[in-house]
Amino acid sequence: DIQMTQSPSSLSASVGDRVTITCRASQGIRNDLGWYQQKPGKAPKRLIYAASSLQSGVPSRFSGSGSGTEFTLTISSLQPEDFATYYCLQHNTYPRTFGQGTKVEIK
């Protein structure tokens, strides 16, 4: 199985900060990775697909990069509505695997 190691597990940041979250795959997954945002009590929402493509309707302050084994989600200027938990998901092989999640909290 492919393991997805996501870091950090949590971070504190202020509105306007640049935030970076990383996912590392235990083996190469090309660009078969998505990033999801989840707020408490709500379903996940896809932000990025194919590692770097922005989901329709998602603000351009979100961006993704990477290929192979290392991937990054960047929020260029953190907004109040961005405080949430973020997950990566590899869809290269079965079983699909998520990262452990990164909780973004208000500093």
Partner 1 sequence: EVQLLESGGGLVQPGGSLRLSCAASGLIFSNYAMSWVRQAPGKGLEWVSTVSGSGGDTYYADSVKGRFTISRDNSKNTLYLQMNSLRAEDTAVYYCAKGSVGGYGPDYWGQGTLVTVSS
Residues that bind partner 1 (CB under 8 A): 1, 32, 34, 36, 38, 42-46, 49-50, 53, 55, 87, 89, 91, 94-101
- Whichever of 59 and 77 has its CB closer to partner 1, that residue is 59
Of the pair 55, 72, the CB lying nearest partner 1 is at 55
| Residue 21 backbone dihedrals phi, psi, to 5 degrees | -125, 140
| Shortest separation between residue 65's beta carbon and partner 1, angstroms | 16
- Within 8 A by CB and 6+ apart from 22, the residues are 6, 7, 70, 71, 72, 73
Q: How far is the CB of 89 from partner 1 (least distance, A)?
A: 6
Spacing of C-alpha 43 from chain mean position: 15
Which is closer to partner 1, CB of 17 or CB of 52? 52
Shortest reach from residue 105's CB to partner 1, in Å? 15
Beta strands in 2-106 (DSSP E): 4-7, 10-13, 19-25, 33-38, 45-49, 53-54, 62-67, 70-75, 85-90, 97-98, 102-106
Residue 14 or 42: the one with the smaller Cβ distance to partner 1 is: 42
